[in-house]
């Protein structure tokens, strides 16, 4: 019998659960979607009448929430009720790198996933489609099935893998116009029916040709592979950036020249101070761990190099600042433009800014940050998470500027860590006038107009260009 999904529960109201479900609710008014989370504050924030206070900032998201919330999109802490009512349950919880025990620092921590499976099994009274939306190690569906079947009340669970490919900052566009939607499932009749039910949901707005169905293991592994390939491109161009600086080549020109080859393609070739974000590092480490566990050491080493190089790039940028500032930043003020891991998001997880700040703080610099979307509390949280020094030392060393001009006042140097558009249009003369001289600028994103800045008097250093 064909299945029709009428009621969806999504466990996890984060950067993926929130936007993904809001778009499903928006495109499928006949489906009731309930997003649940253990974190009551997060749910309260999603329900906030003031849409500027939603927990996730994404262009276009507030409008979709306004149109759907309390119509067919609900945010709730009543996890059990939402599970009981749903035909399909999406698991969108976090899958961070393990911080303890075997696989520490590499493997994905699946405790949140397992908790979800046990809760679903406990509550379910009717058959359910369980959808893996979180990024998971290949073969997790097997473990999920085991838990569900051994602890359930005799109902049938069909597991699908439906990884999410949205990028932060463009989440709504990526969800409305995805390059593809990937759905992996079992070859059995139940598996095929479940796949078709989910295809029917997406095909309300995604052309069928872009909905790809595969076996469940291909789907799980494709998600880790896509992130590994994307991160590898960034490390590849970043590895060339240093070579450009030493040879007089310009990394932006090289990127354009190679990107015009249709086999290479022009996207994702921006040299940077290093990739950040909650997923690239975690997912590659996970891939490396899986390969190592299978004894595939060459495969593991190949992919690990993408991370090793990214760490090097962040360190190299920090060292360049110190070296240029006459080999010492002790007691000097450095202004950071940007703290988020990329523009148009308030997310700071694994941002290169955190690591550069940590490095400079160890050299006794004082840092003032300006980011249009990041709070002082978040910055302190990010630094304390590294456990490099006591919290009081981070408070003493790093503060938030109320505006960019205040942040840059009396600074010896400015470092651009995020590529926010507004940075380009600042009154750079005004910034220059209030800085210490020589006034140094380190553009870690290659976004500033170096010629104009040099004419004002700045001493500029741009990643991937010799100066």
Active site residues: 279
The reply to whether 166 sits near ligand NAD by the rule CB under 6 A is yes
- Residue of 129, 234, 360, 441 that binds ligand UGA (CB under 6 A): 234
Under rule CB under 6 A, residue 279 binds ligand UGA:
yes
DSSP state of 215: E
Query: DSSP assignment, residue 116?
Result: H
- Distance (Å, rounded) from C-alpha 194 to C-alpha 157? 10
Nearby residues of 110 by Cβ (< 8 Å), 6 or more positions away: 95, 136, 137, 140, 143
Partner in contact with 270, chosen from ligand UGA, ligand NAD, none, beta carbon below 5 to 8 Å by kind: ligand UGA
To the nearest whole angstrom, how small is the minimum distance from the Cβ of residue 80 to ligand NAD? Answer: 11
Q: Answer yes or no whether residue 68 interacts with ligand NAD by CB under 6 A.
A: no
Asked whether 335 and 325 are in contact (CB, 8 A), the reply is no
Which of ligand UGA, ligand NAD, none does 453 bind, CB closer than 5 to 8 A by kind? none
Residue 134 binds which of ligand UGA, ligand NAD, none (CB < 5-8 A, kind-dependent)? ligand NAD
Annotated ligand binding at 56? The verdict is no
287 is in an annotated binding site: no
Judged by CB under 6 A, the residue of 11, 31, 329, 398 near ligand NAD is 11
Burial class (CB in 10 A: 0-12, 13-18, 19+), 329: buried
Answer yes or no: is 51 a known binding residue. no
Known binding residue 445? Answer is: yes
Decide if 354 contacts 383 (C-beta within 8 A). yes
Contact of 338 with 417, CB cutoff 8 Å: yes
Closer Cβ to ligand UGA, 191 or 277, answer by number: 277
Q: Which of 131, 273, 279, 325 binds ligand NAD (CB under 6 A)?
A: 279
Handedness of CA 311, 313, 316, 321 (dihedral sign): negative
The single residue among 12, 169, 274, 372 that binds ligand NAD, judged by CB under 6 A, is 12
Q: Which of 5, 14, 117, 353 binds ligand NAD (CB under 6 A)?
A: 14
DSSP annotation string for 448-463: S-HHHHHHHT-EEEET
Sorted by sequence, the CB contacts under 8 Å of residue 429 that are 6+ apart come out as 456
- Among ligand NAD, ligand UGA, none, partner that 12 touches (CB below 5 to 8 angstroms by kind): ligand NAD
Q: Which of residues 153-192 bind ligand UGA (CB under 6 A)?
A: 164-168
Q: 128 among the known binding-site residues?
A: no
* CB contact at 8 A, 181 and 160: no
Residue 37 interacts with ligand NAD (CB under 6 A): yes or no:
yes
275 known member of a binding site: yes
Residue 103 CA to chain centroid, in angstroms?
22
Contact 367, 397 (CB under 8 A): yes
The only residue of 34, 135, 318, 346 in contact with ligand NAD, by rule CB under 6 A: 135
In 3D, which of 69, 82, 65, 62 has the Cα closest to residue 11? 82
Site string for ligand NAD, 217-256 (x = CB under 6 A): ----------------------------------------
Q: By CB under 6 A, name the one of 342, 409, 412, 465 that touches ligand UGA.
A: 342
Which of these segments, 87-95, 120-128, 352-360, 434-442, binds ligand NAD (CB under 6 A)? 87-95
Site track for ligand NAD across 319-348, x = CB under 6 A:
------------------------------
Provide, rounded to whole angstroms, the least separation between the CB of residue 402 and ligand NAD. Answer: 28
- Provide CB contacts within 8 A for 169, sequence distance 6+: 58, 59, 342, 343, 344, 345
* Closest by Cα among 318, 346, 350 to 334: 318
Q: Are strands 157-161 and 128-132 parallel, antiparallel or unpaired?
A: parallel
Question: Angle at CA 132, nearest 5°, toward 131 and 135?
Answer: 160
Does 271 show up as a binding residue in the annotation?
A: yes
By CB under 6 A, how many residues form the interface with ligand UGA? Answer: 20
Q: How far is the CB of 164 from ligand NAD (least distance, A)?
A: 4
Residues ≥6 apart with Cβ < 8 Å to 291: 297, 299, 300, 303
CB 432 within 8 A of CB 439: yes
Euclidean distance between CA atoms 112 and 53, whole angstroms: 26
Show binding-site residues for NAD(+).
12-17, 37, 42, 93-97, 134-135, 168, 279-282, 349
The residues that touch ligand NAD, with contacts defined as CB under 6 A, are 11-17, 37-39, 42, 79, 92-95, 112, 115-116, 134-135, 164, 166, 168, 278-279
Show binding-site residues for substrate.
164-168, 223-227, 263, 270-276, 341-342, 445
The residues that touch ligand UGA, with contacts defined as CB under 6 A, are 135, 164-168, 227, 230, 234, 268-270, 272, 275-277, 279-280, 341-342
């Amino acid at each position: 019998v064909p299945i029709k999904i009428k009621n969806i529960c999504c466990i996890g109201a984060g950067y993926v659960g929130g936007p993904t479900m809001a778009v499903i609710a928006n495109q499928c008014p006949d489906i009731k979607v309930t997003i649940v989370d253990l974190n009551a504050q997060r749910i309260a924030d999603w329900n906030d009448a003031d849409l500027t206070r939603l927990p996730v900032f994404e262009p276009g998201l507030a409008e979709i929430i306004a149109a759907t919330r309390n119509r067919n999109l609900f945010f709730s802490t009543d996890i059990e009720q939402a599970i009981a009512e749903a035909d399909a349950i999406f698991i969108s919880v976090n899958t961070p790198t393990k911080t303890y025990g075997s696989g520490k620092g590499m493997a994905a921590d699946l405790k949140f996933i397992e908790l979800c499976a046990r809760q679903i099994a406990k509550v379910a009274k009717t058959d359910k489609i369980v959808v893996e939306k979180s990024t998971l190690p290949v073969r997790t569906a097997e473990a999920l099935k085991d838990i569900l079947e051994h602890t359930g009340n005799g109902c049938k669970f069909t597991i699908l893998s439906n990884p999410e490919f949205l990028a932060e900052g463009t989440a709504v566009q990526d969800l409305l116009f995805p390059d593809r939607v990937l759905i992996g499932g079992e070859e059995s009749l139940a598996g095929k029916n479940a796949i078709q039910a989910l295809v029917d949901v997406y095909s309300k707005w995604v052309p069928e040709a872009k909905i790809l169905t595969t076996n469940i293991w291909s789907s799980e592994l494709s998600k880790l592979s896509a992130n590994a390939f994307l991160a590898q491109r960034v490390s590849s161009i970043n590895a060339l950036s240093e070579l450009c600086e030493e040879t007089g080549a310009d990394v932006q020109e090289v990127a354009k020249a190679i990107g015009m080859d249709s086999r290479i393609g022009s996207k994702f070739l921006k040299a940077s101070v290093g990739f950040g974000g909650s997923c690239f590092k975690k997912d590659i480490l996970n891939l490396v761990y899986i390969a190592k566990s299978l004894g595939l050491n060459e495969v593991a080493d190949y992919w690990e190099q993408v991370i090793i190089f990214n760490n090097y790039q962040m360190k190299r940028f920090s060292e360049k600042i110190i070296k240029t500032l006459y080999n010492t930043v002790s007691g000097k003020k450095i202004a950071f433009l940007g703290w988020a891991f990329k523009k148009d998001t308030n997310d700071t997880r694994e941002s290169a800014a955190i690591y550069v700040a940590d490095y400079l703080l160890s050299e006794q610099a004082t840092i003032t940050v300006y980011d249009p979307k990041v709070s002082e509390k978040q910055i302190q949280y990010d630094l304390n998470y590294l456990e490099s020094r006591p919290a009081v030392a981070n408070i003493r060393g790093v503060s938030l500027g109320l505006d960019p001009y205040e942040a840059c006042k009396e600074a010896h140097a400015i470092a651009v860590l995020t590529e926010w558009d507004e940075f380009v249009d600042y009154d750079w003369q005004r910034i220059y006038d209030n800085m210490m001289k020589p006034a140094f600028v380190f553009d870690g994103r290659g976004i500033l107009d170096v010629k104009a800045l040099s004419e004002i008097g700045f001493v500029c250093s741009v990643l991937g260009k010799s100066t």
